[in-house]
Amino acid sequence: MHYFNIFSHLHPPPNFYTLLYITIPVCLHIQIFFLTFVRFLKQRKKRNDKFVNMAELEEEYSASNIQVLEGLEAVRKRPAMYIGDISTKGLHHLVYEVVDNSIDEALAGFAHNISVTINPDNSITVVDDGRGIPVDMHEKEHKSALEVVLTVLHAGGKFDKGSYKVSGGLHGVGVSCVNALSTYLRAEVHRNGKAYVQEYSCGKPTTELIVAGESDNTGTMITFKPDSSIFTVTEYDYSTLANRLRDLAFLNAGITLHLTDTRRPADAPEDWTPRSETFYSQEGLKEFVRYIDSNKDSLINDVIDLRTERQGIPVEVALTYNSTYNENVFSFVNNINTIEGGTHLTGFRRGLTSTLKKYAEDNNLLKNAKVEISSDDFREGLTAVVSVKVMEPQFEGQTKTKLGNNEVIGAVQTAVSEALRTYLEEHPKQAKVIVDKVILAAQARHAAYNARKQVLRKSPLSSGGLPGKLSDCSSRTAEDCELFIVEGDSAGGTAKQGRNRTFQAILPLRGKILNVEKAMEHKILDNEEISNLFRALRVTIGTEEDPKEVNLAKLAYHKIIIMTDADVDGAHIATLLMTFFFRRMRPVIENGYLYLATPPLFKCKNRRAKIEEYCWTDQQKAQFVMKYGEEGTTVSRYKGLGEMSAQELKDTTMDPEHRILKQVTIEDAAEADRVFSMLMGEDVGPRRDFIEENANYANIDA
């Protein structure tokens, strides 16, 4: 650009406006140059300061920055690394770790009775009649063996092959973890004709080991109270502990386990007695399978069981077939529930499939099958429990959910093949019933093939697209996104207005979905509402390991929230949806993605105080009335989500800042399977009995 030279004598002096016209561009360019130069100097200084700070950090980072956590400090600093979490699951895991020590004594043949007591202050007492933890001086640690076991990680008899052949627990850190995470622990050992006592707090001994008196018995008593500054939940659930002890009784035939709850309810009558149960199984896994299938129609009216040892590995298996279309196999290693399976489950499936297929072919039982039989067909309607005892188990991950010992595959496969072959030859009638079930499963699988392909094809990238009723969110980060599954179009419309469009999606359902507990696979996949769920979630069927397994690789939401009316119909719809997720999308629950919304039941207003509150329970409503008085107070009962305004629904049920979500988890898969079969299955009798037993607890809004 050409600028006039205001100092040139070749031109006449410019007038005022000409001077202004010439000067402004020059000043602007000078100003831009100046600001750029200043920015350059600031950036240079910032860069120099950064280099100085990095140099200082390098100088500061030395041996003094390396922390060494003494004793059990690491457990208290990072408790979730050792017990899974610091909520309900971790709290109950403390009990399991102490009980596992007693079970180890029982497996070694030295204990027969184990009792667990929930004390009034929510502390726990576990007693067994084993040999008692040794109390003599430990040569290396220069303290009693009892103190070593309770204060040193990876210390215990389970690391000495001469003490225990097999053991459970979290890699030897169990009882010491319990001590570290308890504000109070008291260990009482009966051994050598004496009773020894020592107390601890937060993993450290507060008293010396003393002789409290003489004793004619042997065994160990551990009493502990979890640290409320670590755990977010400190109240024990009786049912959770009962389910675990019941499983242990089935897995360890001949051992008696007692559970007692001494916490007295506030409204308990004068003749109240503590709740108590005793768990004992004579037949072990055989009774376990009967218990799991108690609400299902059996096909063979028998349980095939085996107890043997192969390659030095004790193997126990019990299995049966029922009229349902689901496979339920529960696997355990050293009493630990391996929910992800592993080599023992692989060996079981191989042995089952190969033996049944060979028997059917040898006896010409597949002549009526018009379709090809696959390995999956042999497992439809199967219920089985597989339990192995491995001396040195190798687990994938700290949580012990998948066994990795390759030698177990052959041991379990051989054991299952031999026992099943013998049973089939001795029971030809039951064998034919099983094979007929396999053929029916194969035919149903082929009928479901096209339906499954529809689910696969109707992915978000294909022409099938997303369901028309889905109001999707704008975010594509699954970890941030939420899907509300809403009952009906009316509530769906309200939810769409009250949502945050960035991360909240809405999928209205039309009425009640299909009860998958009673339906075959091709009927399930043909159902429009279920097909919409698959498509909305971007879930497909088939993985590299299992063609029937759901594939969550492209799951679009990490919070799937069931939001239904707070009435009987709403509860039924929520139950149908949870049945669907448990039977057909269990990984969604196992990964912690499924939730239940909890809309309020009441809206309470008081004109005099000019205040209004939402109440979720009758108790909260009563407290509001008591606080502000009946005069001027009005209470509105929400019959459904559609009665709430969009703002009300947002404020109470959808806004992450104020809402209450209940996460759906599986604490005991076998017990969950039994309950779903009872509530949603064909057999009316067990469901009627359940309703009659629990009618007093029902909250009916008449």
Options 376, 567, 651, 683, the catalytic residue: 567
pTM of the model: 0.74
Taking the C-alpha atoms of residue 47 and residue 557, their distance in angstroms, rounded to an integer, is 42
Q: Which residues of 332-361 are buried (b: 16+ CB within 10 A; e: fewer)?
A: bbbbbbbbbbbbbbbbbbbbbbbbbbebbe
Options 287, 380, 565, 668, the catalytic residue: 565
Q: How many CA atoms lie within 13 A of 434 on its CB side?
A: 28
Question: Which CATH topology does 285-450 take?
Answer: Ribosomal Protein S5; domain 2 (3.30.230)
CA dihedral 662, 340, 378, 589 (to 10 degrees): 10
Options 316, 472, 487, 673, the catalytic residue: 487
**Residues shown for the chain:** 702
In the block, tokens 């990680």 appear at: 153
In the block, tokens 């024990």 appear at: 236
Q: What burial class does residue 297 get, using C-beta atoms within 10 Å of its C-beta: 0-12 exposed, 13-18 middle, 19+ buried?
A: middle
- DSSP states along 168-187: -SSTT-HHHHHHHTEEEEEE
Taking the C-alpha atoms of residue 510 and residue 491, their distance in angstroms, rounded to an integer, is 11
Predicted confidence at residue 266, as pLDDT, reads: 86
Tens digit of pLDDT for each residue in 443-492?
Answer: 887 776 665 555 555 443 343 567 778 999 999 999 999 999 998 888 88
- DSSP class of residue 342? B
Q: Which amino acid would we find at residue 601?
A: L
- DSSP states along 224-279: EEE-TTT-S--PPPHHHHHHHHHHHHHHSTT-EEEEEE-PPPTT--TT---EEEEE
Taking the C-alpha atoms of residue 219 and residue 202, their distance in angstroms, rounded to an integer, is 24
3-state secondary structure 235-250: CCCHHHHHHHHHHHHH
CA neighbor of 199 nearest in space, from 151, 134, 137, 261: 151
Token pair, residue 194, equals 């004496």
Q: Which amino acid would we find at residue 687?
A: R
Token pair, residue 206, equals 């507060």
CB 383 within 8 A of CB 286: no
Helix 669-680 × helix 285-292 angle, to 10°: 40
Q: Catalytic: 487?
A: yes
Which alpha helices (DSSP H) does 500-560 contain, by range? 521-526, 528-537
Q: Catalytic: 565?
A: yes
CB 348 within 8 A of CB 329: yes
Token pair, residue 544, equals 């590299």
**In whole angstroms, what separates CA 659 from the centre of its chain?**
21
CB 394 within 8 A of CB 338: no
Coil, strand or helix: which one is 27? helix
Token pair, residue 464, equals 């099938």
CA distances from 77 to 67, 74, 199 (A): 12, 5, 22
Please say whether the structural domain 74-264+274-279 has been given the CATH code 3.30.870.10. Answer: no
Q: Catalytic: 129?
A: no
CB 278 within 8 A of CB 258: yes
Coil, strand or helix: which one is 541? strand
Predicted confidence at residue 700, as pLDDT, reads: 55
The residue ranges of the chain whose pLDDT is under 50 are 1-14, 16-21, 52, 57, 61-62, 65-68, 159-160, 163, 170-172, 398, 458-463, 702
CB 406 within 8 A of CB 346: no
Options 569, 590, 643, 651, the catalytic residue: 569
CA dihedral 414, 420, 422, 425 (to 10 degrees): -140
CA distances from 249 to 261, 333, 698 (A): 19, 15, 31
Q: Which amino acid would we find at residue 56?
A: E
Q: Catalytic: 701?
A: no
Please enumerate, as own/partner, the contacts of 131-135 that have beta carbons within 8 Å and a separation of 24 or more: 131/105, 131/191, 131/218, 131/219, 132/189, 132/190, 132/191, 132/218, 132/219, 132/220, 133/187, 133/189, 133/191, 133/220, 134/191, 135/189, 135/191, 135/192, 135/196, 135/209
Token pair, residue 77, equals 């600093």
Q: Which amino acid would we find at residue 225?
A: K
Q: Which residues of 254-264 are buried (b: 16+ CB within 10 A; e: fewer)?
A: ebbbbbbbeee
Return the domain boundaries, the chain: 1-58, 74-264+274-279, 285-450
**In whole angstroms, what separates CA 515 from the centre of its chain?**
23
CB 377 within 8 A of CB 445: yes
Helix 238-251 × helix 88-107 angle, to 10°: 30
Helix 285-292 × helix 238-251 angle, to 10°: 130
Coil, strand or helix: which one is 196? strand
CA distances from 205 to 74, 182, 425, 547 (A): 17, 12, 62, 55
Which alpha helices (DSSP H) does 152-226 contain, by range? 174-180
Taking the C-alpha atoms of residue 390 and residue 388, their distance in angstroms, rounded to an integer, is 6
CA distances from 633 to 540, 614, 701 (A): 52, 13, 21
